[in-house]
Amino acid sequence: MTQNKGDLVPALVLASASVTRRQMLENAGIPFETLPVRIDEEAIRASMEAEGATPRDVADALGEFKARKGQEKRPDALVLGSDQVLALKGRVHGKPASREDAAAQLLLLQGQTHMLLSSAVIYHEGAPIWRAIGQVRLTMHPLSEAQIEAYLDRVWPDVSGSVGAYHAEGYGARLFSRIEGDWFSVLGLPLLEVCSFLRLRGWLD
């Protein structure tokens, strides 16, 4: 339990191994614990796509699966699950499985506008009590195969854990001509919405 304004409130637990999400919460001064959980993201994504789910639905479901699994391990806590998917022309793309897969993803994305959807779902007492989806439009410069290979020579395998095989906050920024939307959602968490919810519920000053 965490002390806040003299009252005992549930601890906030981040059900994710993401260093970036952890840093965002830390930088915002939000007290939390970290509890990485494992889910079969690829199987969930494939099953939902086969059923005609939208990219938004897929992102939301992945965040909820993480929050639910975290709550099973910490039933006393307020558990935050989050995930991010990339959507191009209605099709969802996950993290690249190899450098070759990363090159193929970048070849699809080059010269195109795609969406990043970052979900946040909070579980408490065995049920989801809040959810949000951050959406961002990103337009990538036209890139040749040689440019893509040169880029991967510099950043691989550091970007292997990122959808689209880029870190827009780092060297990957040079791939883009335009980014429209919430920057925190580019990084993988709709942080402003999370902070607003926590303030509303009294978990933050």
What is the SS3 assignment for 86?
strand
Known catalytic residues are 83
The CA distance from 194 to 205, in Å, is: 13
Instruction: Give the contacts of 50 (CB within 8 A, at least 6 positions apart).
Output: none
Cβ contact 159:103 at 8 Å: no
Would you say 44 and 59 are in contact if contact means Cβ atoms under 8 Å apart? no
How far apart, in whole angstroms, are the C-alpha atoms of residue 53 and residue 46?
Answer: 10
Taking phi over 0 as left and psi of -120 to 50 as alpha, with beta for the rest, 125 belongs to: left
Contact 78, 35 (CB under 8 A): no
84: nearest Cα among 20, 140, 142: 20
